[in-house]
Amino acid sequence: MMITGKTKVLAVIGNPVAHSLSPVFHNAAIRKAGIDYVYTAFPVDNNRLGEAIAGMKAMGISGLNVTIPHKEQVMKYLDHIDKDAEILGAVNTIVNRAGVLTGYNTDVKGFLSGMRQIGYAPKGKRALLLGAGGAARAIIWGLIQEGVASLTIGVRNVPKVRPLVDYFRKYMEISLLDWSTPAFDEALGQAQLLVNATPLGMYPHVDAMPPVNWDKVPKGILAYDIIYTPAETLFLKTAKDHGCHTLNGENMLVGQGAEALRLWTGIEPDIQVMTEALRHALENK
Ligand code: NAP
Cα 81 to the chain's mean position, in Å?
Answer: 18
Tell me: the pLDDT tens digits for 22-31?
999 999 999 9
Q: What is the dihedral of CA 218, 221, 226, 227, to 10 degrees?
A: 60
- Cα(50) to ligand 1 centroid in Å equals 27
Domain regions of the chain by residue span:
8-105+251-283, 109-248
Catalytic pick from 32, 57, 71, 219? 71
- Cα(95) to ligand 1 centroid in Å equals 27
> The pTM is what?
0.96
Peptide bond into 163 cis (omega under 30): no
**Nearest ligand 1 atom, CA 251:** 41
Whether residue 285 has pLDDT greater than 90: no
Q: Is 83 a catalytic residue?
A: no
74-81 contacts, C-beta under 8 A, 24 or more apart? 74/49, 74/103, 75/103, 77/49, 77/50, 77/53, 77/101, 78/53, 78/102, 78/103
Whether 8-105+251-283 and 109-248 share one fold: the answer is yes
Residue 42: in which H helix or E strand, if any? Answer: strand 37-43
Whether residue 81 has pLDDT greater than 90: yes
**Nearest ligand 1 atom, CA 136:** 26
- Are residues 197 and 223 in contact, defined by beta-carbon separation less than 8 angstroms? no
**Nearest ligand 1 atom, CA 114:** 41
What average pLDDT does range 149-172 have in this prediction? 97
CATH of domain 8-105+251-283: 3.40.50.10860
**Is 109-248 a domain of CATH 3.40.50.720?**
yes
Tell me: the pLDDT tens digits for 182-230?
999 999 999 999 999 999 999 999 999 999 999 999 999 999 999 999 9
